[in-house]
A and B are shown apart, each in its own frame.
Chain A
Amino acid sequence: MIGDASGGSVTGASALDDRHSEDDRLPRTYLTRSAPDTGEVERRRWMFRHPVVIRLTHWVNAVCLLVLLMSGLQIFNAHPALYWGKVSTFDTPLMAMSSTEDDPPKGVTTVFGHGFDTTGWLGSSVGSNGEAADRGFPAWSTLPSDQDLTGGRSWHFFFAWAFVLNGLAYVLYGLVSGQLRFRVIPSRDQIRHFGTSVWEHLTLRFPQGDEAKRYNVIQKLTYLVVLFVLLPVQVLAGLAMSPAMDAAFPFLLTLFDGRQSARTVHFVVAALLVLFVIVHVALVLLSGFWNNMRGMLTGWFVIERKIEAAPVTGETRA
């Protein structure tokens, strides 16, 4: 029902089609408009992949996540240690960064009681003035670069609001247009060929032809987890650190097993999001950088026609 409102008939119908398409029909996609198919001889086909709202929210989101990460590291640096539970158990942190009394000081990172020498990176690193400073994360990774908790908080809260409003706009648009469902919910045939998709992905064989019009099952599941697990958990864990929010919504503390656990979860989820972005950017580079960039900047994406002799890809539609 929601999908039908999109105006793109293909968009609205295809999920339903997929549900009972056991045959060898080509999988439908969220494709909303495309240049007319001129037939067999054509090798490349233009596809309008990303509507303007998706493109806009994507880039706003990218900026927000970068600023939130770097200002978050600045805030973390004010007390570079993590704990589990309601309060800080200062003698037994899960993880802590510190510097030694040596000259020059060494940076030490302790994780579950095991110390690692992380001089130059964590615990002690050279700042913009060329001198070694006691700090969790190095100056180049934080915003502002100098030690400045209140500056970090200002950046963090402003971009947290921008991130949340942008995310709501994306989800709302995605639901109403049907884009979200076609982007992140795997179709039945995709789930059935999950193993094959994993193998293709690992061997960096990217789908071609019609299969390239939709996201593959791993992409969909990854986006699903990022959108509806990691990002909401990240926001909730952030809110759980606010004493006023804990008064308004005490379940936040129950959810995370205490404020210090929430802070640890916030840190770990941030790390997972960094991992996601690294893989995302790597795959963008490997699967045709300019095509992907054009897609996310102008909306237009080129589908290379399927090369018939690719047996693995063929199997996915067996």
Chain B
Amino acid sequence: MSRLPSRRALLTGASAMAAAAMLGGCDRLGNAEWFKRTLQTGEDANLFVQRLLLTDRTLAPEYAEADISPWFKPNGTEDPPDKAYKALAKAKFAKYHLEVDGLVEAPFKLSLADLRKLPARTQVTRHDCVEGWSAIGKWTGVPLADLLSRAKLKPEGRYVVFHCADTMDQGNALEGGGEGEETDEAPAGNANPSMTKQSGSGESRKDAGGQQASEDTAVSGGSPVRYYESIDLVDAFHPQTILAYDMNGQALPVSNGAPLRLRVERNLGYKQAKYVMRIEVVESFAHLGEGKGGYWEDQGYAWYAGI
């Protein structure tokens, strides 16, 4: 009987060690390229199956005005640190122009006032952050399909890229800003503090705070990395895909992406690019950023964000 406790201790110790080894093994496995690619097939399957289930015109649920969240949580950049953007914001975006170019027959530029004159769509929809929270807002804006029809896509155009004003990685060189209710500890130019980076060693897989800035700047040769996103033509021509200039009946606030942000309602929050400056139609996004189709995609997030 006296040997029982020691045997129990031995068993407990052994299972604890086995568990620790298993965990370590899973972490190592999770960092191996071949295994990442294997896991990726799960997200490829998500895209494949969801595209089968949804028609090009299946609408995301729309809500009543009474459902609108009293506070629409801003996330990611809340005050772009870029001087050019600050100048635009100071003049209430009077000098702002949206550029539409790339693989189109008729590239054009439109001022915010011109955009407001175009036929608009208003929708009350739910915004789902990849982190897990949701908020409902009312959005008014120009259907992206209208802008793309006006620009006349060339047949080889397959993706629509949104180039944004906010610098994500160059933190310390820029003056303050980006400090909101949720991010008061994070340095300027940080992205979403809860979203994390996957690429690189274990050391860099921390909160996406300022410390990655140097790393990414090195990769991109010192030029600032601005937010960008891409969607395919299925989402681009979806009736609820709009470039919103109003939120809850008022001009879009800076923290939520003024003067223009994308709403692509069947997708998670990181697809809803804020501070959109330029829309580019491309055949492939391999030449942009690190080639994954978006700022967060370059950090390891899935390009398809329907789940």
Contact = CB atoms under 8 A, between A and B. Distances in A.
Contacts of B40: 154, 158
Given A86-B136, A87-B69, A146-B205, A244 B61 contact: no
B198 A151 contact: yes
A243 B39 contact: no
Interface string A236-264: 00000111111111100100000110010
Nearest to B271: A243
A100 interface: no
Nearest to B46: A157
Contacts, number: 156
A83 B135 CA distance: 12
Nearest to A258: B134
Interface in A145-167: 145-151, 153-161
Contacts of B30: 143-144, 151, 154-155
Interface in B249-295: 265-268
A160 B39 CA distance: 11
A250 B129 CA distance: 19
A246 B265 CA distance: 11
Interface string B26-53: 1100100000101111110110001001
B126 A150 contact: no
B126 A242 contact: no
B63 interface: yes
A88 B135 contact: yes
Contact of A149 (B26, B63, B196): B196
Contacts of A83: 133
B205 A157 contact: no
B213 to A, nearest CB: 18
Contacts of B226: none
Interface stretch (A31-39, A74-82, A193-201): A74-82
Interface stretch (B1-9, B79-87, B159-167, B298-306): B298-306
B67 interface: yes
B42 A159 contact: yes
A101 B19 CA distance: 32
Interface in B198-220: 198, 202, 205-207
Interface residues of B, number: 57
A241 B128 contact: yes
A253 B266 contact: no
B23 interface: yes
Contact of A146 (B19, B50, B206, B268): B206
A228 interface: no
B39 A154 contact: yes
Interface residues of A, number: 43
Contacts of B53: 244-245, 248-249
Contact of B132 (A79, A159, A249): A79
A155 B63 CA distance: 32
Nearest to B128: A243
B194 A259 contact: no
B61 A145 contact: no
A46 interface: no
Contact of B307 (A79, A241, A250, A260): A241
A76 B130 CA distance: 10
Interface in A102-156: 140, 143-151, 153-156
A250 B267 contact: no
A243 B132 contact: no
B195 A246 contact: no
Q: 8 closest A-B pairs (Cβ-Cβ)?
A: A244-B306, A158-B42, A242-B307, A157-B42, A88-B133, A79-B132, A78-B131, A79-B131
Given A150-B196, A263-B132, 5 more contacts: A79-B131, A140-B20, A146-B206, A154-B302, A158-B40
